Structure 1
Amino acid sequence: MAVSIISRTIKEGFRKLNHGNIKKSPKILLGFMIMPVRNISCLEVSKNMSLLSNEKKNATVADLKLDQPQENPLVVLLAWMMANKKHTYKYADIWIQKGFDVLTVNVNPWQFLWPTKGTQVVAADILKFLEQNTFYSPLMLHGFSVGGYLWGEVMVQMAHNMDRYQHILDKFVGQIWDSAADVTEIHKGVPPAVFPRNKMMANALGKYIIYHLKTFDKVATRHYIRSSQMFHTTLVHAPALFLLSKTDTIGTESSNQRVKENWESMGIQVEWKIFEKSPHVGHFRKYPKEYVAQLHKFLDTIDLQKEKQKQEGETNKDRIKVKM
């Protein structure tokens, strides 16, 4: 099949996705078990971000700023490709039951393939939300698959102005990475997310992505590489938990191991959980009790109340300095 035909077919698929015709497109159901969740309040922050809570938010949002302060700590949940809202709710519910609000972030395939007009815009919105709503503290990260790449883009922007964003970095008390996928595996990870039931089209998209990487260096490839480098030399030094599987060919054990070794060499505390046979971002679905227990165990190592008091104390010190 010629590259031009593949490209037109894929672009048409992305056009339908971007116009909201998800119901007419096959969807991949990855990463969780079918189980009821409690009522979750959802506030649409932007096209790509939603704020989830255990109670209805009376707050409204303008220019990514909530008009009412929130008292709960916040999890930034960076979803996998093509994640449906009701699917991410399964994970959000784990955090909500622990007293967190959850900012879910999704990107679509078009935004991923054209980062300068896609994922980098979303990354800027994540930063703007955190900067505009400084009352959220402490902060946690929970990223899936390409969410690692998206967070790398966030850190690239932070690195350009550390004086401005250091106070945000200081609020992170923990990070969890589920099936984190490196740039070297994107030609394997994106196709099944877009075409889960059409192997021929998935293979065609995989070939197109390889062509895309070779052809569009300035607007795509160099940004993937820079994000990957930033993820490996992270700005977030909070304790980390990696969740992965021996059978995952996308978020591989070897690529995650390299990240683990880099982070440990920087003095970051890294916990490591390898499941036996779960698919990519499918650990919760395959091992629900073990997955939740691992998250709770990790949280137990972080004294959130102590961290909150510590961060509030540092904020008060800064205010005193300003007055003096």
Structure 2
Amino acid sequence: MKFWSRRFLATKEITKNMTLLSKEPIKGEVDPKTLEIKQPSGNTLVLIMAWLMARQKHLKKYAEIYTEMGFDVIVVHVTPWQLLWPAKGTQVVAADTLKFLENNKFYAPIVVHGFSVGAYQIGEVMLQMARDMNRYKDILDRIVCQIWDSAADITEIPAGVPKSIFPKNPRMQSALRNYILYHMKTFHNQATIHYMRSSQMFHSTLIKQPALFFVSENDNIGPPSSNHAVRENWERANIKVTFKCWQHSQHAAHLIKHREEYLECLFKHLESCGAVGSIGLKTRAKL
């Protein structure tokens, strides 16, 4: 997956699944073993957990929101194959995500902004954290807030993956949906059990910082019902949750459909969590 070569966004590939973006030149090399950046920028960081088959131009819209406010952005994405085979796919990406965050401690604070299947992917990250909380406590302490846009749970995988890969081909969607149902039943130990564990971790969550959810009533991939279930679990754990639900929108595209409302909610959330100072009118106008 190739990312942007725009004049106003410097990019650096960290791994095949992770790309760093900044409004400023990204200096220094990245150690391929530790993923440490040798000349840090000193900016704060947004960790974007992308949706499946995310297109460059759409991810760029979110990256620019944050780079205009002075953040660096690390985008993490997974492929359909990596999703279907977690042990060799999504769990490897999760380990690299942790390695990057652990070995680049100058990135603080951290904002987590996830989309769709990104909820599953952050679950895999937290499962690895949970195995050694002493080691990863510093990462959790650096996270100041989280945003979840169209978060998809395990029950939506058979519906969501086909629509992501074949958005305009119902026949292929149906065929792939049938295969994924077969895959989840046949490869329970290799795949489905990992989805279940990640879902349980997302519902219980290690990230206790305030959360903002974006959903819509007509989204059957990341429906309000499953997001409300997460919200209820988090609120019982004393996590502050803000919930924005539209009647009509589009999965992982609420920014496109409801730009002004989306940005207003996002800015308020970032400001209230101390992730940024008061966002000035000039910056808002640019966005």
Q: TM-score with structure 2 length normalisation?
A: 0.92
**Counterpart residue number, 2:23:** 54
Per-residue CA deviations over 1:60-107 (Å, capped at 9, x if unaligned) read 212211011221110000000001223211001111111110000111
- Structure 1, unaligned runs of 5 or more: 1-19, 23-36, 307-324
Match of 1:162 in 2: 133
* Cα separation, 1, equivalents of 2:20 and 2:213: 24
* Equivalent position amino acid for 2:160 in 1: G
Letter in 1 for 2:49: L
SS in 1 for 2:15: coil
Match of 1:211 among 171, 179, 182: 182
Aligned to 2:87: 116
Letter in 2 for 1:230: M
Q: Is the 8 A contact 2:145 2:275 kept in 1?
A: no
- Are the counterparts in 1 of residues 214 and 245 from structure 2 also a CA contact under 8 Å? yes
Between the aligned partners of 1:227 and 1:71, the Cα distance in structure 2 is 32
Tell me how many residue pairs correspond in the alignment: 272
Give the Cα separation in 2 of the matches to 1:305 and 1:256.
Answer: 26
Mapping 1:217-232, distance limit 5 Å: 217-232=188-203
Distance 1:293 1:139, change over 3 A: same
SS of 2:244 mapped into structure 1: strand
- For residue 221 of structure 1, give the secondary structure of its aligned residue in structure 2: helix
Q: Is the contact between residue 66 and residue 73 of structure 2 (CA under 8 Å) also seen in structure 1?
A: yes
Matches within 5 A, 1:46-195: 46-63=15-32, 64-195=35-166
Counterpart-to-counterpart distance in 2, 1:219 and 1:54: 40
User: Identity of aligned pairs, percent?
Assistant: 53
| Secondary structure in 1 matching 2:160 | helix
Aligned-pair Cα RMSD in Å: 1.4
Any gaps of 5 or more consecutive residues in structure 2? 278-287
Whichever residue aligns with residue 81 of structure 2, its letter is W
Q: Secondary structure at the match of 1:98?
A: coil
Map residues 252-291 of structure 1 onto 2, 5 A cutoff. 252-291=223-262
Q: State which structure, 1 or 2, has the greater radius of gyration over its C-alpha atoms.
A: 1
Please list the CA deviations of residues 208-242 of structure 1 after superposition, one character each: whole Å capped at 9, or x if unmatched: 11111100011100000000000000000000000
1:28-39 equivalences under 5 Å are 39=8
**1:122-160 deviations in Å (ceiling 9; x for gaps):** 000000000110110001100000000000000000000
- Larger CA deviation: 70-79 vs 297-306: 297-306
**Paired residues of 2:27 and 2:40 also in contact (CA < 8 A):** no
Q: Which has the higher contact order (CA 8 A, sep 6+)?
A: 1
Displacement of 1:48 in angstroms is 0.4
Q: What is the rounded CA distance, in whole Å, between the counterparts of 2:68 and 2:27 in structure 1?
A: 20
